[in-house]
Amino acid sequence: MNLNKKNAEFFIPDNIELDKAFLRTTHMAIGAHQDDLEIMAYQGIEECFQSQEKYFFGIVVTDGGGSARDDIYKNYTNEEMINVRKIEQKKAAYLGEFGLLALLDYPSKEVKDKDNKEVVEELKNLILKSQPRIIYTHNLADKHDTHIGVVTKVIKAIRALPKNKRPEKIYGCEVWRNLDWLNDDEKIYLDVSKHPNLASALVEVFDSQIIGGKRYDLATIGRRLANATYNASHQTDQQEALTYAMDLTPLIINDELSVKDFVSDAIDRFKADVQNKIDRML
């Protein structure tokens, strides 16, 4: 299978044939940038780690050329930065024992273009080829425009598939906005307590981001610990580390469901919950 962009590529850590890597996929994550997968979809990586039945397929949509840079990277050109971030992502794929990695190499502006059909078509083909049971992607309330560009295109790609070829579940995960605001009965709780050393190592690999003053390594692990502790006020912690996700599955079951209304309604339910709690105390 050929990817669209000239410098796009597949990476298979255990060097199995590409067709076999597709066929063994059970979990897929589709993220905008290098390191998004490790932040938002660690539950899938963890579940597939050292497994002979479950395999993780990570897809990074953009080339990473516009990322912030400092210290030893501050004078790097966009082309040099793209190469650095590809190497870092491959290191993470090797550490996390990914079954397959695809680096699609799109500029962010193409991903944010609502009329761009090329990204949608390529994602559709990759999902169809691998047919994962679960897909992790960005959540619809994320504050990063490129992340919203990715999740909306993922939904379009899945809706272009026959219903019997679609994943069982699709989760919108935390990166550039926490999901602790979601009402508790709407949260997907992803236990990420296992292999804390692996969890840390996967985000620490991305040196070009961390050394520039963005401590994603500390922030990511800290958020997971905070989620576990602040999850429930009247019981002891049930997990040591926890991430939240928004269940986007209704959007791939019912193609007529409005994506915008889906997230807006969740926000309205949160608003109503806050107001009801206050009303009971006044």
Mean pLDDT of the residues in the chain = 94
> Whole-angstrom Cα distance, residue 108 to residue 33?
9
Sign of the alpha-carbon dihedral angle for 85, 91, 92, 98: positive
Are 172 and 158 spatial neighbours (Cβ–Cβ below 8 Å)? no
> Whole-angstrom Cα distance, residue 16 to residue 9?
15
> Whole-angstrom Cα distance, residue 125 to residue 114?
19
How many Cβ atoms sit within 10 Å of the Cβ of residue 278? 9
Average pLDDT score over residue span 75-102:
94
237 pLDDT band, cuts 50/70/90, is low
Q: Which string of DSSP letters, residue by residue, matches 139-185?
A: -TT-S-HHHHHHHHHHHHHHHTS-GGGS-SEEEEE-SSS--TTS-GG
176-205: per-residue pLDDT in tens? Answer: 999 999 999 999 999 999 999 999 999 999
Both structure tokens of 36: 């998004």
130-151: per-residue pLDDT in tens? Answer: 999 999 999 999 999 999 999 9
Q: What is the pTM of this model?
A: 0.95
Query: H helices within the chain, ranges in order?
Result: 18-23, 36-40, 42-48, 78-95, 108-111, 118-130, 145-159, 196-204, 207-210, 216-230, 249-253, 259-281
Average pLDDT score over residue span 253-275:
98
* Architecture of the domain whose range is 9-281: 3-Layer(aba) Sandwich (3.40)
Are 247 and 186 spatial neighbours (Cβ–Cβ below 8 Å)? yes
